[in-house]
Amino acid sequence: MREIKDIEQLFYHEIQVLWSAEKMLTEEMPKMIEKATNFGLKKALEMHLAETRQHLVALEAICKQLNIEPEGDFNPGMKGILEEGTKVMNKDTTPAAMDAAIIAGAQKVEHYEISGYGSAAYYAEMLGLEGIAKRLRLTLTEEQEADTKLNFLAKSIINPKALTV
């Protein structure tokens, strides 16, 4: 992307890096699902993968509305988070430790997305783009809910099991 001089250009950048993140996630999440052994974790990841695909479609629609290309800015932050997760998933671990590692990695992703969607929604509001802001806030809520589900699984089932193996 060209130089960022104002909130509008920063908003466009944020939309593009969110699209880049969601695109990478649609490619990487199936690997996480395959490695997960806990049924609840697998189901939570599968449900969130379906949501992630919808987030990608929503961002493409927003880009079309704004007349910008979704591929405009690559997201090196998400790439780094996903590379870290892949490195851990390739280690020799017990199934319980693998599930705990997958949750930790997935929560890093969620926290990153929560930050990005929160900022993008606020920028959209500042720019008077209420419809776009509403859609971004819906995605933000879905990301927060995914994080809450992962946190519940980690604290109540996965991490205690990994502790006792």
**53-87 pLDDT tens trace:** 999 999 999 999 999 999 988 999 999 999 999 99
Matching residue, tokens 């949750």? 103
What whole-number distance in Å separates Cα of residue 54 and Cα of residue 60? 10
Task: Write down the pLDDT at residue 164.
Answer: 77
Distances (CA, A) of 83 to 102, 106, 131, 147: 12, 12, 34, 20
Task: Write down the pLDDT at residue 3.
Answer: 81
Instruction: Record the tokens describing residue 127, joined without a space.
Output: 């720019």
Task: Report pTM.
Answer: 0.93
Look up residue 13 and give its amino acid: H
Task: Write down the pLDDT at residue 142.
Answer: 97
Task: Write down the pLDDT at residue 55.
Answer: 97
Mark residue 2 as left, alpha or beta (left: phi above 0; alpha: psi -120 to 50; beta: remaining).
Answer: beta
Task: Write down the pLDDT at residue 72.
Answer: 84
Task: Write down the pLDDT at residue 2.
Answer: 67
- List, run by run, the mean pLDDT of 10-residue segments along the chain (165 residues): 86 97 96 96 96 97 96 92 93 93 96 98 98 98 97 95 81
Domains and CATH numbers, the chain: 7-164 (1.20.1260.10)
What whole-number distance in Å separates Cα of residue 162 and Cα of residue 165? 5
Task: Write down the pLDDT at residue 165.
Answer: 57
